[in-house]
Structure 1
Amino acid sequence: MSSDTLAPARPAVELEGITKRFPGVVANHDIRLAIQPGTVHAICGENGAGKSTLMKILYGMQKPDEGQIRVNGTDVTFRSPSDAINVGIGMVHQHFMLADNLTVLENIVLGAEPKRAGRLDVARARKRIKELAEAHGLRVDPDRLVEDLGVGDRQRVEILKVLYRGARILILDEPTAVLVPQEVEELFDNLRELKAEGLTVIFISHKLDEVLGIADAITVIRRGTTVASLPRSEISSARQLAELMVGSELPTPETRESTVTETVALKVDGLSMESDGFRPVPKGTSIRLYADKLKAEGKRLLLDDVSFEIHKGEILGIAGVEGNGQSELIEAIMGIRQAHGGISLAGQDISAWSTLKRRESGIGYIPEDRHRQGLLLEASLWENRVLGHQTQKPARSGIWINRRAARADTQRIIREYDVRTPGADTLALALSGGNQQKLIVGREMSGEPAFLIAAHPTRGVDVGAQAAIWDHLRDARAAGLAVLLISADLDELIGLSDTLHVIYRGRLVARLDPSDVTPERLGGYMTGAITATEEM
């Protein structure tokens, strides 16, 4: 046998000495790694460790200050993502980049449309999409509107979008963040298909069990540099991987003794919301009859007769596939969107109150999308500390904002919540996603709120930050805080919740005991595969 036959394949991607500096911080320092073709290579690390910066460099969104990138043995320099796409690199971002009002086909070909006589060649596009879908096990309906798709289908569309452009190296950023266990398994099946076809997958995730379940090799980044790059076979457990990442054991969200009191902090009664805008209920008609009438007319309800109570010292979890009414429930409780039904805080009807008055009365809110709803990215951290709390201490001093007090309290949050930043005057956009999240959690847990909405409180944060946020929630619960927890992390929901509801198509369809339910069974209720037998 010749020596050529024995020669190892060239790495699909090689990074040598990659260094990237920003004002006041070195994001990447002397990063070195080699990714073999036809493998799933996981990148793990704490928030702020430099993973996102590294992937932006590999996708041409940022240019390294030092170092060299090689793709399939050839030195490359990227000025933009189009340069990366031209050498076969595609990226699926954590926040999907799809247009809801377009079809699957239109989203996939957008910017790379096949033309015939100056017009979109739909037949050719459909044929190519069908070939890719069948070859890689990515089933989609090209003619469906994206707004009608669940998150698992949206993710398949994103993957097809990069494959359509000829990608042979895929970067997946936190691909399982919004998926239930069944969808995660489907994604992993898809990735195994891609691998079998010779494609290379770079898999970025905080979910260590999933990394161990899919990766062929794992690279750990800590404080901007590579500290380990190992075959999967050399890592025995999630605990070992966590210790490589943060130097400590893997945390669990388990809540110990019950602290639930008899005092109702928040009561939601018969909350219903139309899909086509709020209309007053006709006089003399009950909300229930009105909702039934709308459904009989074929109209969809975003919320359908939702009722529950949360007591002081209780965490009530809501499980559901995204798009089943969780966002509308939050918006109704916060007063952002009108709904029928009653909402009471500490026994007082707040249904007609403004969002500001609800905030001032002690409702804290960790939003589901930190960029769209939680931060002003181009503002400083102390200004973001004031956001939503501008009429309360420490922000308010008479009619003015007390900048000194706001800065001082921001420094407290930075210290207590381990926000990795040079200081309170740093712009929010300069922080990693996880550090932005820690700032928001710190802000919303300040001022002794009476009730807290925590929507995906640990999404996109590393195991160390996750443990800290769980501890803060547990401590606040023990001190009497009532929490509505909405999360896509089923272990988090099961571990933290005292009571667990499942929302499906706008209705609460099951009430489950967190001490007696598995993530797989919970996922069955969430997707409608299991129908509740318990009385609500």
Structure 2
Amino acid sequence: MNASSSPPAGAAVSESATAVELTGITKRFPGVVANHDIHLAVRRGTVHALVGENGAGKSTLMKILYGMQKPDEGTIAIDGAPVALSSPADAIARGIGMVHQHFMLADNLTVLENVVLGSERLHGIGARARRAIRDLSDRYGLGVRPDVLVEELGVAARQRVEILKVLYRGARTLILDEPTAVLVPQEVDALFANLRELKSEGLSVIFISHKLGEVLSVADEITVIRRGTTVGTAVPAETTPRQLAELMVGSQLPTPETAESTVTDRPVITVDSLRLAAPGGKALLDDVSFTIHAGEVLGIAGVEGNGQTELVDALIGLRQADSGTIGFLGEDITALPTRKRREQGVGYIPEDRHRHGLLLEAPLWENRILGHVTERPNARGVWLDPKAAQADTRRIVEEYDVRTPGIDVTAASLSGGNQQKLIVGREMSHRPRFLIAAHPTRGVDVGAQAAIWDHIREARREGLAVLLISADLDELIGLSDTLRVIYDGRLVADADPAGVTPEELGSAMTGAASGHLEGGTADGTAAAPQAPESPEDEAR
């Protein structure tokens, strides 16, 4: 490790010319200093990782480099020449492209239309543009089809469209904000292969991630920022995840392992033969059945786009299944609207916090009310109770370490990780009986990740039933009592979290296995969990 902002002496990356250099960057907002005297040098033809806890100032720094915000102090140089960036158009013109953590795509347009939008002068909007998109997609192995509607794509495919979009505009330095958050191991490997190809052609990548193992495997150099300032740099060969974590948050890496079993024999949610089809008739969910008991976490593993989103939508009531039933605490809720399910005790951490979890332009205390408008402390009888909601928002901010200058700022002003902590705090505060947790720690730092795991484990001990969907296979294996694999809308395999490896689980997610991986039953259905009969059983 190196406590300065310059690269360690003798590092291989020091031989490269500097592509981007930020010097003395300071940015102030009312009540908070987001960046203070930050130094960052990114060398041509390298992957430079930027890590730090939520609210450390990473996003603000990248928005400054992308021309979305102006620094109060400091300078920016691109290829050695000082520049003033007043807008993203300025940054794009100078070869800077950014793929945001939350994508900037129009669902009702095709991939081609999204890519060329605003850049029609490059190749027009017809055959030349389509040819250029296919050439770029093939060159970097992105697998993007120009004429598909974006609304038909999963999150991972949308990310590839965003990468293609900045390459199409001629970016030579790419900013990737949490690019692996939605990817399974095989997709991460493919992305890293793409990044190596970009490097070999002299392009540079600024890689923002909380997954420190991935950072160490892909980066040539790492810069760590904490509380808005640069605290150190590292070369991956000379550091460990633990050292990076200590620089970021002052603590060791957390682990999701759950030591004791809390599974009972009391069913909370029972899904029987659930089927959901697309308008054209293709089955999105096909004969899906499972039961989750009080005190049990059922993990669902699958490559993005294999039915996870549709399953969550059906359970929360955003889509009505074509056939099958959903039972909750002995009552058939298949036809109940979302609000009734919420009032009866169904919690919901959505996959996409911007589309389904927050009103970005509303203050935090109004976001605390979302999904629970009829429940205390948000309401008293038929009337909203703003003062009580505001007081409880302050409690959530304190208890869940949501870093904000106050509860009256908008949700859009928070970092992605702090937005996630607000949502988790909101849902857990209503003490649900069943929690749908879709990627609950996506985009949060190691400290916040550990806190969210602790909240889930504590609620599980108190009898909460959890459906956990995550692209983080270590998280799935560590938190789950039961594991199922979803592929092409069907539950095709089950696994014993105590014995399965991420590699085995990842392989099953591609359709390479069915039945059981470790444990389970021979017909591919999960054995009903039993309540522990003795302290020895519980310890196991």
TM-score by length of 1: 0.90
User: Which amino acid in 2 is paired with 1:337?
Assistant: R
Q: Confirm whether residue 299 of structure 1 aligns to residue 299 of structure 2.
A: no
- Given candidates 365, 369, 377, the residue that maps to 2:348 is 365
* Separation in structure 1 between the aligned mates of residue 304 and residue 272 of structure 2, nearest angstrom: 22
- Which segment is superposed worse, 404-413 or 243-252? 404-413
User: Which amino acid in 1 is paired with 2:36?
Assistant: H
SS in 1 for 2:374: coil
2:296–2:464 CA contact under 8 A, matched in 1: yes
1:33–1:229 CA contact under 8 A, matched in 2: no
Q: Confirm whether residue 120 of structure 1 aligns to residue 125 of structure 2.
A: yes
- In structure 2, do the counterparts of structure 1 residues 129 and 370 end up closer, same or farther at CA, with 3 Å as the change threshold? closer
- Which segment is superposed worse, 16-25 or 467-476? 16-25
How do residues 4-153 of structure 1 correspond to structure 2 at under 5 angstroms? 9-100=16-107, 102-113=109-120, 120-122=125-127, 124-133=128-137, 135-146=139-150, 149=153, 151-153=155-157
Aligned to 1:323: 305
SS in 2 for 1:12: strand
- Which segment is superposed worse, 427-436 or 42-51? 427-436
- In structure 2, do the counterparts of structure 1 residues 270 and 232 end up closer, same or farther at CA, with 3 Å as the change threshold? same
How do residues 55-454 of structure 1 correspond to structure 2 at under 5 angstroms? 55-100=62-107, 102-113=109-120, 120-122=125-127, 124-133=128-137, 135-146=139-150, 149=153, 151-235=155-239, 237-276=240-279, 299-339=281-321, 340-454=323-437
SS in 2 for 1:429: helix
- In structure 2, do the counterparts of structure 1 residues 9 and 454 end up closer, same or farther at CA, with 3 Å as the change threshold? closer
2:156–2:304 CA contact under 8 A, matched in 1: no
- Which segment is superposed worse, 140-149 or 520-529? 140-149
Q: What whole-Å deviation, never above 9, does each CA across 1:70-92 have from its counterpart, x for those lacking one?
A: 00100011111110011111112
Aligned to 2:480: 497
Q: CA deviation at 1:409?
A: 1.4
Q: CA deviation at 1:146?
A: 4.6
* Separation in structure 2 between the aligned mates of residue 221 and residue 309 of structure 1, nearest angstrom: 44
Q: CA deviation at 1:232?
A: 2.3
* Separation in structure 2 between the aligned mates of residue 149 and residue 312 of structure 1, nearest angstrom: 34
* Separation in structure 2 between the aligned mates of residue 50 and residue 27 of structure 1, nearest angstrom: 5
Q: CA deviation at 1:138?
A: 4.2
User: Which amino acid in 2 is paired with 1:511?
Assistant: D
SS in 2 for 1:492: helix
User: Which amino acid in 2 is paired with 1:369?
Assistant: D
User: Which amino acid in 2 is paired with 1:375?
Assistant: L
* Separation in structure 2 between the aligned mates of residue 64 and residue 270 of structure 1, nearest angstrom: 56
Q: What whole-Å deviation, never above 9, does each CA across 1:299-341 have from its counterpart, x for those lacking one?
A: 2011111111000000111111222211221121112211121
Q: CA deviation at 1:446?
A: 1.1
User: Which amino acid in 2 is paired with 1:457?
Assistant: P
1:98–1:107 CA contact under 8 A, matched in 2: yes
* Separation in structure 1 between the aligned mates of residue 285 and residue 445 of structure 2, nearest angstrom: 33
* Separation in structure 1 between the aligned mates of residue 93 and residue 354 of structure 2, nearest angstrom: 30
1:115–1:121 CA contact under 8 A, matched in 2: no
Q: What whole-Å deviation, never above 9, does each CA across 1:36-55 have from its counterpart, x for those lacking one?
A: 11110000000000101111
1:40–1:215 CA contact under 8 A, matched in 2: yes
**Structure 1 vs Structure 2 CA RMSD:** 2.0
- Which segment is superposed worse, 261-270 or 337-346? 337-346
Unaligned ranges ≥5, structure 2: 1-13, 517-521, 526-540
Q: CA deviation at 1:249?
A: 0.3
Q: CA deviation at 1:356?
A: 1.4
- Which segment is superposed worse, 267-276 or 40-49? 267-276
SS in 2 for 1:128: helix
1:114–1:125 CA contact under 8 A, matched in 2: no
Q: CA deviation at 1:113?
A: 2.7
* Separation in structure 1 between the aligned mates of residue 161 and residue 222 of structure 2, nearest angstrom: 26
Q: Confirm whether residue 455 of structure 1 aligns to residue 438 of structure 2.
A: yes
Q: What whole-Å deviation, never above 9, does each CA across 1:276-305 have from its counterpart, x for those lacking one?
A: 1xxxxxxxxxxxxxxxxxxxxx82011111
User: Which amino acid in 2 is paired with 1:195?
Assistant: K
User: Which amino acid in 2 is paired with 1:265?
Assistant: V
User: Which amino acid in 2 is paired with 1:69?
Assistant: I
2:493–2:513 CA contact under 8 A, matched in 1: no
1:325–1:505 CA contact under 8 A, matched in 2: yes
2:435–2:465 CA contact under 8 A, matched in 1: yes
* Separation in structure 1 between the aligned mates of residue 514 and residue 75 of structure 2, nearest angstrom: 55
* Separation in structure 2 between the aligned mates of residue 399 and residue 372 of structure 1, nearest angstrom: 27
2:16–2:45 CA contact under 8 A, matched in 1: no
User: Which amino acid in 1 is paired with 2:265?
Assistant: E
- In structure 2, do the counterparts of structure 1 residues 96 and 485 end up closer, same or farther at CA, with 3 Å as the change threshold? same
SS in 2 for 1:404: helix
User: Which amino acid in 1 is paired with 2:472?
Assistant: D
SS in 2 for 1:47: coil
TM-score by length of 2: 0.89
SS in 2 for 1:439: helix
1:325–1:503 CA contact under 8 A, matched in 2: yes
- Which segment is superposed worse, 448-457 or 88-97? 88-97
Q: CA deviation at 1:144?
A: 4.9
User: Which amino acid in 2 is paired with 1:215?
Assistant: A
* Separation in structure 1 between the aligned mates of residue 275 and residue 205 of structure 2, nearest angstrom: 43
Aligned to 1:280: none
Q: CA deviation at 1:137?
A: 4.5
Q: CA deviation at 1:8?
A: 5.3
- In structure 2, do the counterparts of structure 1 residues 230 and 449 end up closer, same or farther at CA, with 3 Å as the change threshold? same
* Separation in structure 2 between the aligned mates of residue 529 and residue 57 of structure 1, nearest angstrom: 45
- In structure 2, do the counterparts of structure 1 residues 301 and 455 end up closer, same or farther at CA, with 3 Å as the change threshold? same
- Which segment is superposed worse, 157-166 or 147-156? 147-156
Q: CA deviation at 1:403?
A: 2.1
Q: How many residues align?
A: 505
Aligned to 1:4: none
SS in 2 for 1:96: coil
* Separation in structure 1 between the aligned mates of residue 231 and residue 317 of structure 2, nearest angstrom: 47
